[in-house]
Amino acid sequence: MNTGSGFANISNGGVYSGATTATLAITGATVTLTGYQYRCVVTGTCTPAANSASATLTVHAPVIVTTSPVNTEVCSGSNASFTVAGSSVPAIIYQWEVSTNGGSTWTAITGANSATYTISGVITVMNNNQYRCQLSNGTCTTPAVSNAAILTVRQLPSVGLTAAPLTSLLPGQTTTLTATPTSSTGGTLTTTWTLNGSPISVTGNTLPVTVVNPGAYQVSIRETWPSSIFCSSLSQIVTIDASASSRLFVYPSPNDGNFTVSYYNNGGSSTQRRIIIFDTKGSAVFDRQFSISGLYTLIPVNLERANRGIYYVVVGDASGKKLAEGKVHVR
């Protein structure tokens, strides 16, 4: 058999067989043969020889995995993604698989047929699952298999926040906020407290709150792992408010001469309070002006040098107008 210009020379041996028959067989075709053209020249008693139409050979290589998916570590409830890359002339066909027993057996994942496989809302039972991808094309159907990637799922920590016994306070009352964080699952736990969105310093898991620091309290919890990944969440918001009152608060009474005076400041703006204290004879034994802010300011008063007995406390505004009065027992 002879070939014309631009056609491969064929001998009846080696990778070719049947070169002098009606069928030509090529064994172990390689990509380098792509583009070769073949025709048959038929000769007989009559001349000239008859040439068949030419046929072009295209050889596709199997898919090659160029990038395997990598191990992924995420927090429970978040998404995890694995990506594979391959080399192929025809379009690549992807099929992701999962193993839940350390790679002993693999199961095809329905619908996971693209270069990236994403798991939405992972849960802790998926921890240590392995994922790999089979890559093939329409010509070379035997798949190339990527390396397996391990999914590590870290449990999302949680923290509760409660107030007892009160959530609405008056001067002299105290309530305690208690945070209840979950235990560590292997990482390092930290908690951060906020008041009205700003961080505050708290030692331990409890915080006494008085009428001078009402607001919205919240605790965040964070567990950090050696890989530097961290998982965090927030407690519910607990709001402590200050109750409005027309009462003058003087406490404790009786006392040793040291006591606290407080009166509701409607609106909470910064202003002045004048405190005048009289003995039972009507003589003023204490007269001072104090700066206040917020709904309640706890004003400390020292009457240690005064005689023991009953005293009358008068609170006035910045102009001296009387707002309220009460009495206190010093003993």
Sequence-ordered list of residues with C-beta below 8 angstroms from that of 29, at least 6 positions apart, any chain? 15, 57, 59
Band (pLDDT 50/70/90 cuts) for residue 17 is confident
Q: Is 166 helix (H, G, I), strand (E, B) or coil?
A: coil
* Predicted pLDDT at 14: 59
Q: Tell me the pLDDT tens digit for each residue of 270-324.
A: 999 999 999 999 999 999 999 999 999 999 999 999 999 999 999 999 888 999 9
Owner of token pair 């072009």 = 56
List of residues 6+ apart from 89 with CB closer than 8 A: 60, 61, 137
pLDDT surpasses 60 at 12: no
- Amino acid residing at 130: Q
Residue type, 187: G
Q: Note the pLDDT tens digit of each residue in 22-60.
A: 999 998 888 888 899 999 989 888 889 999 999 999 888
* 249-330: in CATH 2.60.40.10: yes
The pTM of the full predicted model, rounded to 2 decimals, is: 0.78
**Residue 292's pLDDT is what?**
97
What is the C-alpha end-to-end distance of the chain, expressed in Å? 130
Fold of 64-154: Immunoglobulin-like (2.60.40)
SS3 33: helix
Quick check: 20 pLDDT over 90?
Answer: no
From residue 270, alpha-carbon distances to 172, 231, 262, 267, 287 in Å are 21, 41, 14, 9, 20
3-class state of residue 124 by DSSP: helix
197-215 pLDDT, tens digit each? 999 999 999 999 999 999 9
Rounded-to-integer distance, Cα 266 and Cα 246, Å: 10
Cα separations in angstroms, 61 against 27, 33, 95: 15, 11, 19
Confidence category of residue 6, pLDDT binned at 50, 70, 90: very low
Residue 230 near residue 222, CB atoms below 8 Å: yes
Please name the residues in contact with 288: beta carbons below 8 A apart, sequence gap of 6 or more.
274, 275
Residue 63 corresponds to which amino acid? V
Rg (CA), the chain: 43
Do residues 222 and 192 touch, judged by C-beta distance below 8 A? Answer: yes
Q: Where in the chain is the domain with CATH 2.60.40.10?
A: 64-154, 159-242, 249-330
Please state which CATH number belongs to domain 159-242. 2.60.40.10
Token readout for 181 is 């964080």
